[in-house]
Every structure is written in C-alpha cells, then in structure tokens.
Amino acid sequence: MKQQIQVHIADDHKILIEGIVALLNTDDEINVEGYSLTGRQIIEWSKNNSADVLILDINMPEMDGIDVLKTFKARNVDQKTIILSSLQDPKLVDEMIKLGANGFIEKSAASEHLIKGIKTVHNNQQYISDNVKENLFEMYFSNTQKASEKEELEEELTDKEIELLKLVAQEKDTIQIAEAMNVSIRTIEHYRSRLIKKINVKNAVGLAMYAVKNNIL
C-alpha cells in the first residue's frame, strides 16, 4: 500500500479545520495527523515534529503565518508549507513564497485545489491556485522590461529554454519535463535556475507567467 501523505493543519477556527479534515479524508492518499490553533503552537510542534505538508493560515493569534515562516527560516526548519488564506494580495503572496511557502490557495477555492495542491507540493513542486496566480501574473509583469527589451531577450533564448518554458506553462512537473526533454531531473533544475535569472523572474510561477505573457505556448 502506498504510504500516505501526512498533513498538519494550522488555523484558529476549529470549524474550518473540521471542514478541511472532512475534505482530505475523501482521499485515501492523505492523512491528517494533527492540528494547531495558534502560530505559537505550530512553532512548539515543529521543534519535535514534522509533516509531509503543513497547511498554514495567515491570520492566527499569538503569531501569524508570516511570523511562523520567518521563524522556520531563521531556525532552518525544512517544512513544506501551503498557505490557505482568504487574503489574495499578490505582494503578500510573493512575500510568503520568498519566506519559503511552497503553495498558496485561497480559502474559497480549497475544495477545488487543496487535495491537488498537497500532492503537488509533496512531489517537490510549487502550487498556486488559479485566482492567486492571475494576481501574481499582473504584479510580476506590471513593471517589467519594455516590449523592445523583451523581444531582444526572446531572441537570446535557446531552443531548450523555449521548450522548457512551454512545458512549465503547461504545468508539467520536473519529472514530466525531464521525460519530455529526454534529460535528467538535475539538468532540468539547472536549466530552470539559469532561466529564472536570465528572464529576471522570481520563481517557477514567474516562468509560467512569462511564457503566457509572451505567447510561448
């Protein structure tokens, strides 16, 4: 039997936690191993425990989700985390990603995205739900290069880089991209890191947004 993905939930509303547990219990591959009601409880829990994926709210008493991620980063806590929040400010989302969040899902879309998001993040990929992704798209490219500079940059992209952008825009994961391009996973990770620097975006989400914006599909 396939080993279950262990999930811990951090939210200050027990009713919401119960709803999330009920949703996740519909999938045999996921097990909710526990929950925390405050940011401080999460920090205490993380000292001796970990989960495959942590579902973290932003607005919590004692310590909010941002402070939790800052503490994780300061203490080198390696914990895959999905932010589940009613807040969708792209600047906030961007900050959470910089602090180490692996995913961001708005609460109103939890039933549609949460199970897929957990499995995606557990598979070492980033997951951003659709509305949040659109808001990030607008922010990432509101102050980018002029059109002429973009054209020059596109001329500098290699065939491999263009192929990688197309696959990222299709939401393929690292394993699928490696298989499609017939190279190793490590090579794909190298290509992606180099391309992120080359086109001046922040992460894989930025690559996807760049591909869509420039019709590299």
**pLDDT band, residue 148 (cuts 50/70/90):** very low
Tokens linked to 3? 């080993």
**Contact yes or no for 115/23 (Cβ under 8 A):** yes
Query: Does 143 score more than 60 pLDDT?
Result: no
Q: What percent of the chain has pLDDT over 70?
A: 92
Q: Per mean pLDDT, which range of 4-18, 44-58, 178-192, 203-217 is the poorest?
A: 203-217
Higher-pLDDT residue of 190 and 138 is 190
Q: Render the burial of 117-145: b for 16+ CB within 10 Å, e for the rest.
A: bbbbbbeebbbbbeebbebbbeebbeebe
Q: What percent of the chain has pLDDT over 90?
A: 45
The distance of Cα 188 from the centroid of its chain, to the nearest Å, equals 18
Per-domain residue ranges of the chain: 5-129, 141-213
Q: pLDDT for 13-71, tens place per residue?
A: 999 999 999 999 999 999 999 999 999 999 999 999 999 999 999 989 888 999 999 99
Tokens linked to 74? 């300061």
Residues 6+ apart with CB under 8 A from 106: 84, 85, 86, 88, 129, 131, 132
Q: Does domain 5-129 have CATH number 3.40.50.2300?
A: yes
Please tell me the predicted confidence (pLDDT) of residue 146: 47
Please tell me the predicted confidence (pLDDT) of residue 150: 52
Q: What is the CB-side half-sphere exposure of residue 84 using CA atoms within 13 A?
A: 25
**pLDDT band, residue 92 (cuts 50/70/90):** confident
Higher-pLDDT residue of 147 and 8 is 8
User: What is the CATH T-level fold of the domain 141-213, as seen in this structure?
Assistant: Arc Repressor Mutant, subunit A (1.10.10)
Q: What is the mean pLDDT of residues 189-201?
A: 87
Q: Rg of the Cα trace of the chain? A: 18
